Structure 1
Amino acid sequence: MKSFLSGMPECKLGLSYPSTSSKTPKGTEKPSVENTLAEFQFHQCVRLRQFNQNKAISFVPPDGQFELMRYHFKATQKPPFTLYPVVPKPGPDSQVLNIMVTIKSNYLSKYSATNVKVNIPVPKNTTGCSTNSSISNRAKYSPETNSVVWTIPKFSGNSEHTIDVKVKLSKKEKHDDWQRPPITVSFKLSMLSMSGLQVKFLQIQETGNYKSGK
């Protein structure tokens, strides 16, 4: 959080917590999502007594940027994306390596991730790559990082995409020691909280002649 407020106004942050209980189709209770939120840690400006009483966070923000709170989410839940890679290990005399990667989104269809980048490592003796994907083919081979970077500008929820990568290998260099490094994914996904914890409101308690402003 970064404060642009002048003076010492008191602020109140209201949070929307996950439901305290739920039922399975057979009517049996399953663990509460709220009970999976633990280990709250607050900045020293937070009034802890009020939080313990009504779960509202009251504080007088310090100047500049600061971390208001952090918490630990203990529930077992699917990550935003699941990868299904097929990456065979090339033989000692292989000149071509065929890689296939499918990425599936696990969030609801009303959400969309943007600027999704899938980084697919390739052997160091790669001389070139050709790609074919189920969505706009924005994939490039990066010799500097020994990887193919597959960019998906917008990724809707409950959907999946697949890319086929044909890797050309040099005969002059060996690739026996290539350990198939992990595939990494970076993305931006706004308005979605995997823990279910969301901000309801942020109030500035104005007193006297104080006027809030940036």
Structure 2
Amino acid sequence: MITHFFILSSRGDKIIARNYRYDIFDEVEDLFFRNVRNESTSNFGKPIFNQQGINFFHVRKSGLYIVCTSRENVSPITIFELLERACILIRDFTGQLSEDSIRKNFVLVYELLDELFDWGKVQTTQTNILTYCVYNEPIETVDVPTTNGLLNIAFTDPKTVKSTATCLPITKKNDQIFVDVLERVNCEMNSNGELLRSEIIGSLVVKSYLMGTPLIRIALNQDLAIGVENSTYSAIRVDAINFNEIINRDEFEHGRQLSFYPQDGELTLLSYRVTNNFNVVMPFRITPSVTKTGDYKIEAAIRVRSDFPNSTSATGVFIRIPVPKNTVSCGISVGNDKDSQQTYEYKEKDKVVVWGLKKFQGATEQLIRLKINISEPCKIDERKLIGPVTMKFEIPMHNMSGLQLRYLKIGSDSLNDDKKPKQKRWVRYVTQAGSYSGRVAM
């Protein structure tokens, strides 16, 4: 049971707020924002914390804080699942989860929340049920590229969306279906660029705008193996798969086929995990080099190599390089200072260098050099003072695990059936960075 549900912008502006039980004071939004953004507080950056007897739960999505509060001892997993479902519902009904979209559709969002909660208790989170309860028409919005900090590079989230088709509300039926294979890669490398550990977290997500509810069949790799004991060297191996309850497991076991009737809104058919598969080549290799040039001077060269095909490019690449805490100044140079596709910045307050590349082509290499002046003589291994180097990126139409769709069939159609109009099918593969880091010290 919850008391408050509210959405704040990254600046702390109140966008949406509902008080369901009135057992908590109304200034709770300010209390939350002060605690979650102030680095001096013990609750800084925590997804769940207690302040003044109030339990706060929140997730960050698209630069927004989506928050629930409760005075009761509720299950955190249940609340976080509820917050995730609320984000999906808002995106389903408004077309996208963004500050502009929510502000323009605030009446619709409030109506949705009133159907979602009754006196703080959850009624339903099913999109197909709420479709018959929400009557306001959505106002469509278009993503506008935003600039990230002082780095003069514009990035749009997500980078792989080339049209506004997937940002349509579910009420706009246009007889097409989107299937996304989304993978988030976590890895850690040593100072030589060798892999220490790796993990791929993937999901197969469907969003349907089809007329009616025809049977959909999606076939995956025939050699897909689940678990190490069932795999061969050439097989596509995943350690574990979690299926949506609408999937027939027996049919998948026999033919690696997923059959289901689409629901309104976004649907995750399955999620999977691949851990420490050293046959998988990581998309980027980080190789740092650090040299002490004087008692007060350190030079570092960070080389980043893209190990994916040259026909593909990563977008929105950000590389963070922590420098010593006693750094006085930091000179920076990159391979081509005149290249408008990349920029850099030394953030003195955080003692970190942020290197941004708008586009990073496959099978290429980029280099950044740092000349660091420190206030005290360096008495330990200089490599221990720098790093680890971390990366954020997105690679469209690239797949790490090798999971592929063999076909996507709708209704009774076949590959040779050309007598009736075909529904539009869109399949995308996206790889994103999770916790992606490279050590500088051994």
* TM-score, normalised via structure 2 length: 0.39
1:185 maps onto 2:388 in alignment: no
Could you tell me how far 1:85 is from its partner in structure 2?
0.4
User: Which position in structure 1 is the counterpart of 2:283?
Assistant: 80
SS in 1 for 2:373: strand
Could you tell me how far 1:194 is from its partner in structure 2?
1.4
User: Which position in structure 1 is the counterpart of 2:234?
Assistant: 32
Larger helix fraction of residues:
2
Q: Is the 8 A contact 1:19 1:32 kept in 2?
A: no
User: Which position in structure 2 is the counterpart of 1:153?
Assistant: 358
User: Which position in structure 2 is the counterpart of 1:3?
Assistant: 207
Structure 1, unaligned runs of 5 or more: 21-29
Compute the RMSD of aligned alpha carbons. Answer: 3.4
1:101 maps onto 2:307 in alignment: no
Q: Give 1:189-208 correspondences, 5 Å limit.
A: 189-205=395-411
Could you tell me how far 1:3 is from its partner in structure 2?
3.3
The AA in structure 2 aligned to 1:31 is Y
Distance change (3 Å), C-alpha of 1:19 and 1:51: closer
Q: How far, CA to CA, are the matches of 2:314 and 2:257 in structure 1?
A: 30
Q: Deviations over 1:89-141 (max 9, x none)?
A: 798x52x3211100111112111111211111112222332211114351111
* TM-score, normalised via structure 1 length: 0.75
Could you tell me how far 1:7 is from its partner in structure 2?
5.7
User: Which position in structure 2 is the counterpart of 1:162?
Assistant: 367
Could you tell me how far 1:163 is from its partner in structure 2?
1.0
Q: Is the 8 A contact 1:105 1:158 kept in 2?
A: yes
Identical positions, percent: 28
Could you tell me how far 1:186 is from its partner in structure 2?
0.9
Could you tell me how far 1:16 is from its partner in structure 2?
4.1
Q: Is the 8 A contact 1:115 1:188 kept in 2?
A: yes
Q: How far, CA to CA, are the matches of 2:349 and 2:214 in structure 1?
A: 50
Q: Is the 8 A contact 1:122 1:148 kept in 2?
A: yes
Q: Is the 8 A contact 2:330 2:370 kept in 1?
A: yes
Q: 2:256 aligns with which of 48, 55, 72?
A: 55
Q: How many pairs were matched up?
A: 197
Q: How far, CA to CA, are the matches of 1:40 and 1:12 in structure 2?
A: 18
Q: Deviations over 1:30-72 (max 9, x none)?
A: 81132x2342221111111211121111123444334221223
Distance change (3 Å), C-alpha of 1:180 and 1:131: closer
Q: How far, CA to CA, are the matches of 1:145 and 1:33 in structure 2?
A: 45
User: Which position in structure 1 is the counterpart of 2:114?
Assistant: none
Q: Is the 8 A contact 2:323 2:385 kept in 1?
A: no
Distance change (3 Å), C-alpha of 1:4 and 1:32: closer
Could you tell me how far 1:18 is from its partner in structure 2?
6.3
Structure 2, unaligned runs of 5 or more: 1-204, 226-231, 414-422, 425-442
Q: How far, CA to CA, are the matches of 2:292 and 2:332 in structure 1?
A: 18
